[in-house]
């Protein structure tokens, strides 16, 4: 699997009721667009919150 670095992310609302939108992720000139709904947006928020608040883990070499 190739992992690319995201350069920019844009979130847009396409519908308020029901809540729907798109996420565009720019990776070095290539843009991937994803449709999301409210449920997926809440899951993404929870995952990002866990990511941002996790305790950094020490590597074996640092022990």
Q: What is the mean pLDDT of each run of 10 residues along the chain (63 residues)?
A: 91 96 94 96 94 77 55
Query: Which pLDDT belongs to residue 59?
Result: 64
pTM above 0.85, yes or no: no
pLDDT, residue 25, reads 96
Torsion of CA 11, 2, 7, 9, to 10 degrees: 0
pLDDT of 3: 87
Answer positive or negative: Cα dihedral of 15, 16, 17, 22.
Answer: positive
């Amino acid at each position: 699997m190739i992992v690319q670095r995201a350069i920019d992310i844009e979130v847009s609302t396409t519908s308020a009721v029901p809540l729907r939108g798109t996420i565009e992720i720019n990776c070095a000139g290539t843009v991937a667009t994803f449709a999301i709904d409210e449920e997926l947006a809440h899951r993404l928020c929870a995952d990002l919150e866990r990511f941002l608040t996790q305790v950094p883990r020490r590597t074996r070499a640092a022990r």
